[in-house]
């Protein structure tokens, strides 16, 4: 077993996972800034289920796009 290749692959997997998380967070923040209301406040303080479903669908779609771009 080649430990160097295993460690390199593990490090690259961690690096790409971190990159995906950063891109997902930045994309959600940009999406939140472009919407007319604060989604976090609408979802958690006002209990707006529709806003939660909308934000969740956006995050899932963005995650699929990012995963395909990284792969």
Which residues have C-beta within 8 Å of that of residue 22, sequence separation ≥ 6?
A: none
Instruction: Evaluate if residue 53 carries a pLDDT over 90.
Output: yes
| Model pLDDT, residue 69 | 87
On whether residue 62 sits in a domain, the answer given is yes
pLDDT level of residue 4 (50, 70, 90 thresholds): very high
Rg (CA), the chain: 17
Q: How many domains does the chain have?
A: 1
pLDDT level of residue 1 (50, 70, 90 thresholds): confident
| Model pLDDT, residue 2 | 85
Helices 3-34, 49-70: inter-axial angle, 10-degree rounding: 140
Alpha carbon of 27 to those of 4, 30, 64: distances in Å?
Answer: 34, 5, 12
pLDDT in tens, 23-48: 999 999 999 999 898 898 999 999 99
For residue 41, give its domain range.
Answer: 28-71
H helices of the chain, in order, are 3-34, 39-40, 49-70
Report yes or no: 70 and 16 within 8 Å, Cβ to Cβ: yes
On whether residue 22 sits in a domain, the answer given is no
């Amino acid at each position: 077993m080649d430990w160097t290749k295993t460690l390199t692959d593990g490090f690259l997997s961690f690096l790409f996972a971190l990159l995906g998380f950063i891109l997902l967070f930045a994309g959600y923040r940009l999406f939140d800034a472009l919407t007319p209301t604060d989604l976090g406040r609408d979802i958690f303080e006002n209990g707006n289920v529709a806003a939660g479903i909308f934000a969740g669908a956006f995050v899932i779609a963005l995650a699929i796009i990012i995963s395909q771009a990284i792969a």
